[in-house]
Amino acid sequence: MHEKWMAEALAEAEKAAQMGEVPVGAVIVFENEIIARGRNEMRTRQDPTHHAEMQAIQRAATHLGYYRLLGCDLYVTLEPCAMCAGAMVLARIRHCYYGTSDPKTGACQSLMNIPQDERLNHRVELTAGVLAEACRAQLQQFFQQIRHKNG
């Protein structure tokens, strides 16, 4: 089942790539149904907060009519950064499944582990590596195309 939801997040990431954005996609699942989608749109919107996870969290809260996303699971193609990890905690996301790790900005296990910090009032369960190769390949292909284009 997790692969099914991550495939949906990969589709969102592909939409981001087609817009010239770094291909990261996210979906939020509640009661076995996608209630929100998001994709990177930082360049398009000229806003550093428009990460895939942030969009999905905002849309899920609107869908549920409540800012706490109790019982919701987030699927995202790349390990969330500190901003997104913090938002997951504040939103009370139940579980975050991510595809590939981010050794430069990952805040769910790589550089730090905000979602499971015992000093915080909520902890998000984490599962890394869901469709990891497909998620990694999508990002690598995007950056190879950028390098090729820029010579």
Annotation says 41 is catalytic:
no
**Quick one: average pLDDT of 26-54?**
98
Q: What percent of the chain has pLDDT over 90?
A: 95
- Is pLDDT above 80 for 150? no
Q: pLDDT-derived band of residue 52, with 50, 70 and 90 as boundaries?
A: very high
- Is pLDDT above 80 for 75? yes
- Is pLDDT above 90 for 151? no
Q: What percent of the chain has pLDDT over 70?
A: 99
Q: What is the dihedral of CA 26, 106, 104, 14, to 10 degrees?
A: -10
pLDDT at 148: 81
Give the angle 111-61-128 at the CA atoms, nearest 5°: 30
Q: What is the pTM of this model?
A: 0.96
- Is pLDDT above 80 for 110? yes
**Quick one: average pLDDT of 68-87?**
98
pLDDT at 146: 84
Count of beta carbons in the 10 Å neighbourhood of residue 54: 23
Window from 6-10, 36-40, 79-83, 141-145 with minimum mean pLDDT: 141-145
Q: Which of 48, 7, 44 is nearest to 27 (CA)?
A: 7
Which one of 12, 21, 53, 79 is the catalytic residue?
53
